[in-house]
Structure 1
């Protein structure tokens, strides 16, 4: 097993560890760990809420989740000799749940969860249809996920980090904050908000203290969105065997990672929509000197996906176009057309006995495929969502005899935000 350079004790909170990570992006967060090009090493990762979500049948913890404190990231890790303008090569050699701990209070110890936030806390992709807080617990066995809250479904995990990236330069950080604040200013009272500005509340910044902590906390960017440094991209295909090329913006690159997922559908449409867990990553790093200029990669990571995707071969696909539920025509709005495709899938699955929220949770957690199928035929874009039919215990394909209905069981725990 590779040497663990960023260990986490499952019996302690994230801020009580021997090496404390961070939950903001800023170039001045110190790198407390250093590796060399060519090194192979292990990093432990805590579930993104640091244990605030529990294995029970209540959604109150999702409704009251400590959103100001996410994501708890392992890092920054300095790569010796990496300089601005380089490309950092990161090979994901292995990634999985918390090893050798099959049961326990932390997500990753034999279980994980999928959640939908209330609209006031960010909602999800379909927040107008699902404005409250919801939670589904998934149990892991032999690489397969099942849930007492969504019966009749099981699927092989597609384990990956939701978040990994390098630190921004001071200039890049200023650009992030300026453009996101400009967006907020267009509708400052919007619920959910258009963006998340810097917020010192619950900031974790490695070993910074005093005035330096206060300065960085006031400037540092939140980790919620993906940006030029990678970040919270939620790409389900960054699995074991992937190779990622990250732009380097600061000395040492300052690589960080976390937000591990046992499985996820394309888009992570429920927001907390993957099966969230803690675990480990085995990584190998190297550097391409002046790689950003050599390959024209001035921003955003380039990657080679792994080869460990579940081998599903039969799919049922749903399509949607850029027309609102009220019948309003929108111009080539792929976001809207993907929403409509997802809603069509939810309508369909309800005919088999699932509730609307159970169907929504399936789309968020199972390894569905989302595609932009047509983006040139004005005025309608066309998006599609592919669901593997093999994940269901019953046959969900259309047939002359009509749909077979399942027993939906106790359903999805819900906490009303109204």
Structure 2
């Protein structure tokens, strides 16, 4: 097994661990460990809400989820010899739930969860149609997930980290804060907000001297969005066997990782749309000196997906175009067309007995494929959602006999407003 350089005790909160991680991006957060190019190592990760979400039949915890505290990132890990302008190579050797802990109160101990966030607490991709908080708990049996809240499906998880990235330079951090602040200023009272500004009170800044936390926290970037350093990209294909090339902006690169998912559909559409869990990830790192200029990789990470994805051979696909629910024509709006494709899939699944919320949760958790299928045929873009048919315990394909009516079970818990 690779050297275990970041351990988490499941009996302690994230902030009470022997080595303290962080939940903001800032160049002054010191590394918790240093590795060399070519080293392999293991890192434990806590799920993004640090145990706030429970394995029960209530969604009140989703409604009250503490968004100001996320994400619980492991790291940073400095790579010896890394300099700004280099490319950091990161190989995902293995990733999975918390080892040898098949039951317990933490997501990753034999179970995980998917949530629909209420609009007032962040919302989701379809927040106008689904403004309330719901939850689905998923049980793990090896690589397979099932749920009492979304019955009639079982599938192999595509396990991956939702968030991984390098530390920003001071200059890059200032750029983030300026451009996101300008966006917020266009509609500062919007619910949900257009972006998330720095917030010092709930910032966790690793091994930084506590006397500096207020200053650094007031500058540090929130970890919710993807940015030039990688970050919260939520790419389901960053699975075992993946090789990623991250831009390096500070000495040591300062790599951090977290937000592990047992499975996810393209887009993580409910915002808490993956099957969230804690667990472990084994990584190997190396460097390409001067690689940012050599390969033109300056504003994004590039990656080579792993080859251990679950194999699906049959799909049911839904399309959407850039026309609103009210019939207003938009010009090549791929975001809207993907929303419409998802809504068409949800409407279809309700014909078999699922509630709209169960179908929405399913699209977030199952490894669906989302594609931009047409982006040039004015005025309509076309997006598509592909659902693997083998995940269902019944025949979900259209037929002359009509849709099978399934037992929706206890349904997805809804939080009281």
TM-score normalized with structure 2 length: 0.99
Q: Which runs of 5+ in 2 are unaligned?
A: none
Matches within 5 A, 1:358-369: 358-369=358-369
Per-residue deviation, 1:142: 1.9
Matches within 5 A, 1:5-404: 5-404=5-404
User: For 1:404 and 1:62, how far apart are their aligned partners in 2?
Assistant: 31
User: For 2:247 and 2:75, how far apart are their aligned partners in 1?
Assistant: 17
| Number of residue equivalences | 417
User: For 2:102 and 2:409, how far apart are their aligned partners in 1?
Assistant: 25
User: For 2:106 and 2:416, how far apart are their aligned partners in 1?
Assistant: 25
1:327-347 CA-partner distances (Å, limit 9, x unpaired): 000000000000000000000
User: For 2:115 and 2:74, how far apart are their aligned partners in 1?
Assistant: 23
User: For 1:25 and 1:315, how far apart are their aligned partners in 2?
Assistant: 39
User: For 1:32 and 1:74, how far apart are their aligned partners in 2?
Assistant: 9
Distance 1:42 1:210, change over 3 A: closer
Contact 2:266 2:368 in 1 (8 A): yes
| Secondary structure in 1 matching 2:360 | helix
Contact 2:320 2:340 in 1 (8 A): yes
User: For 2:180 and 2:240, how far apart are their aligned partners in 1?
Assistant: 33
User: For 2:209 and 2:193, how far apart are their aligned partners in 1?
Assistant: 30
User: For 2:311 and 2:13, how far apart are their aligned partners in 1?
Assistant: 37
Per-residue deviation, 1:351: 0.4
| Secondary structure in 1 matching 2:246 | strand
Per-residue deviation, 1:416: 3.5
Per-residue deviation, 1:34: 0.5
Q: Which runs of 5+ in 1 are unaligned?
A: none
Per-residue deviation, 1:32: 1.7
User: For 1:290 and 1:142, how far apart are their aligned partners in 2?
Assistant: 42
User: For 2:178 and 2:217, how far apart are their aligned partners in 1?
Assistant: 16
Contact 2:111 2:277 in 1 (8 A): yes
TM-score normalized with structure 1 length: 0.99
Per-residue deviation, 1:308: 1.1
User: For 2:89 and 2:207, how far apart are their aligned partners in 1?
Assistant: 27
| Secondary structure in 1 matching 2:91 | strand
1:151-198 CA-partner distances (Å, limit 9, x unpaired): 101000000000000000000000000000000000111110000000
Aligned-residue RMSD, C-alpha: 0.6
Per-residue deviation, 1:209: 3.3
